[in-house]
Amino acid sequence: MSSPIHYTTCPACDSSDIHRVLATKDHTVSHKIFEIWECRRCTMRFTQDVPQQNDIGAYYQSDDYISHSNTSKGLVNRLYLKVRERSLKNKRKLVQGYTNAESMPRLLDVGCGIGAFMDHMRQHGWLTEGIEPSEVARENAVKQYGLYVYPPDKFFDPTLGNFDVITMWHVLEHVHLLNEYMFRLKELLRPQGTLFIAVPNYTSLDASKYQENWAAYDVPRHLYHFSPESMRLLLEKHGLVLRSVKPMWFDSFYVSMLSEKYKTGKESVLKGGIMGSISNLNTLFHKEQCSSLIYVIGK
């Protein structure tokens, strides 16, 4: 195993003005403690001393990792699966609202997991392609949906073509090559196309409440932790235009319920649900303080 990555400058803006803000635990696989640092220039946070790209796969080897296994293990995951259909419909409506393609638009889902969103969009007349680094998830995409999903090296393949829509639902925080990915996303997007990036928001009310127990830190799998300001600066750096910011209402409940479990060692739908409701109520008045945000992006 290679030495972990120790950042001396911000992985987004390359500023050396970085400092430690907290330490948190990997609750899913290793139970190791990782530090989270923050850049004073762009405000992005990042996990310090993360495994190298070739080593991090071991931290995804868990039956509890729902996007790869579709597991219904545990009450929180069962609730997640119940609301997923509603979430898929909401995503489709959002994507369709920003699509100018006349017929059979082409969509690329980067980090597609087992392909649930791809399958949903395919059923509604879209040409869908997906990229997923997890071999287990790619195998499950075939078993559950009959979908062939590309391995990760396809993302940089010049034969991949261009797309009307590219989606990254909670994926950008996982990629080691942050700036390389941003450059390539711009290349793959058609002139009038739209890029949708959904990421957790560490400036949310629930993040403030749970601090080091906030489940969306998800170290070391989440390499970066975005604020709205850091996302704006990253897009600006790569010549992309932010069209809109949308809240992900269900995430506040899911993250809060997991955070309660991490904090107390016990699942608590009631306490997590109350905190998720409070966080969403706060979002009605402060849109960019939702637990997770969708950034709608164009060239």
C-alpha to C-alpha distances, 105 to 90, 99, 182, nearest whole angstrom: 18, 8, 22
Q: For the purposes of burial, counting CB atoms within 10 Å of the CB of 196, is it exposed (0-12), middle (13-18) or buried (19 or more)?
A: buried
One of 3.40.50.620, 3.60.70.12, 3.40.50.150, 3.40.190.10 is the CATH number of 18-298, namely 3.40.50.150
CA distance 141 to 152: 15
In this predicted structure, which of 182-191, 209-218, 262-271, 290-299 has the lowest mean pLDDT?
262-271
Per-residue pLDDT tens digits for 37-84: 999 999 999 999 999 999 999 998 876 554 544 554 555 555 556 667
Which tokens in the block code for residue 223? 């390499």
Question: What local confidence, expressed as pLDDT, does residue 247 receive?
Answer: 96
The DSSP element (H or E) to which 35 belongs, if any, is strand 33-39
The owner of tokens 């749970």 is 210
Answer yes or no: is pLDDT of 91 > 80.
yes
Name 90's Cβ contacts closer than 8 Å, sequence gap at least 6: none
Per-residue pLDDT tens digits for 135-188: 989 999 999 999 999 999 999 999 999 999 999 999 999 999 999 999 999 999
CA distance 268 to 274: 10
Question: pTM of the prediction?
Answer: 0.93
